[in-house]
Amino acid sequence: MIGKFIDYLIGKGYFEISVTGNKDVQILNLLKDRGFFDCRVTGEKIHLSCSGSDIKRISELLDGHGVEYKYSAEGIFWLAKRVLLRRGAIAGAVLCIAMHSFFSNMIWEIDIIGNSTVPEGEIRRTLEGLGVYEGCLKDSINVKKLYLDYMTADDRISFAHLNMDGTTGVFEVAERKQPPEKEPDKKEVCNIVARCDGIIYRADVYSGGCEVSAGESVVKGQLLISSFFESRVSGHLLRRAKGTVFAHTEPCFEMMIPKKRAVRGESRICEKRYLKLLENTVAIDGLLPQKTSGQYERRVDEQSLKLFGIVESPVKYVKASYTAFDTKTEFVGKEQAQLMYKKAFEEWKSGFSKNAEIVSEKTETEETDEYFRFFTKLSCIENIALEKPFKISET
């Protein structure tokens, strides 16, 4: 083993010399002072070896006497020389490394974990609006700011965090725990307030005092029907307010669609091997696909390395088998974006229109270098009455 390593380090040459008649002895006499070894004669061929430093001298001698021959060389210096002569290979390697460095700095897949009642599609749409989508650069994401922005955009989430796992972004959420709904107490005194902003269209009061009139503008939380009302016989009474209040409202639906996105292609099984010391890892396999999110992990085997086969070391040999997906960038055109928006809008409208009558809708489109923005403003008539328990506190 040591001898082979030394041969590879200093270089070694192999010659195959063609001879005719009985000239093999003459040729060997010419080369006797050139330092060859491992010589053997088979038919009309002479096979011999030499050190890397003697290759040039033997070649010049054979060329000077017009002897036909072939030779090959091996060793670290000869390998470096061949690589330097192949400029195309060097350029390809440099380009490969540059592309790997560039694409490794992008998110090519987003996994959503932790949600149970909030639809995954709505989470993805909110993330796209905040600049996190498949195909975006990691450096463009401020993780701390993303947490605050997402919490502001979706009040159903109590915690959100984006973790980077190679080229996969794992978005972890925790849904806000809603208190269990209590069955309404029909004897409990309640006011009726506005569920959202609007302009009063009609108020039907069955119990309580009406505090608004048709054409009046109201804001969210404003009192509509009071539990206090005046009776001609008994004076002021306190009862549970009942009624419906219809108002003109203008709800909005907005969606931002990036112009480029990552599309998943064919899958393949890959193995990744690395050494692990505490939380630090060193890859053994080199440049392998970096999609190693838990969703696609198949098997992870860890073995502690032992010194001299006896003492267990803190270094572990890890072999992970997982499914990797080929991805490519797909550019989204305006027509395709419109279809995507229409599908999402119809899903939202089908749920919203159960409690409202849609009078009109108007959609606006905005286009930038990075995304399409769609904004639809509806004009509706809906019941905005919301019961709110009336509590009297002692002071």
Residue 360, C-beta contacts closer than 8 angstroms, at least 6 positions apart = 378, 379
Q: H/E element holding 283?
A: strand 280-283
Task: Name the β-bridge partners of 249.
Answer: 380
Is residue 126 within 8 Å of residue 133, measured between CB atoms?
no
**Token pair listed for 89:** 């290979």
Give the CB-side neighbour count of residue 297, counting CA atoms within 13 A.
12
Domains and CATH numbers, the chain: 2-82 (3.30.70.980), 109-175 (3.10.20.310), 190-247+385-389 (no CATH)
What is the chain's pLDDT, residue by residue, as a tens digit (395 residues)? Answer: 666 777 677 778 888 888 876 777 777 777 777 777 778 888 788 888 888 778 888 888 888 888 888 888 877 776 766 666 555 655 665 665 655 555 567 777 788 888 888 888 888 888 888 888 877 888 888 888 888 888 888 888 888 888 877 777 888 888 887 666 565 566 678 889 998 899 999 998 888 888 898 999 999 999 898 887 666 666 667 778 888 999 999 988 888 888 887 666 676 677 777 777 655 666 666 544 444 333 444 566 777 766 655 656 667 777 776 666 666 778 888 998 999 899 888 888 887 777 788 889 999 999 888 889 999 999 999 999 988 887 665 54
> What is the pTM for the complete model shown?
0.43
What is the greatest pairwise CA distance in the chain?
142
As a whole number of Å, the CA-based R_g of the chain is 39
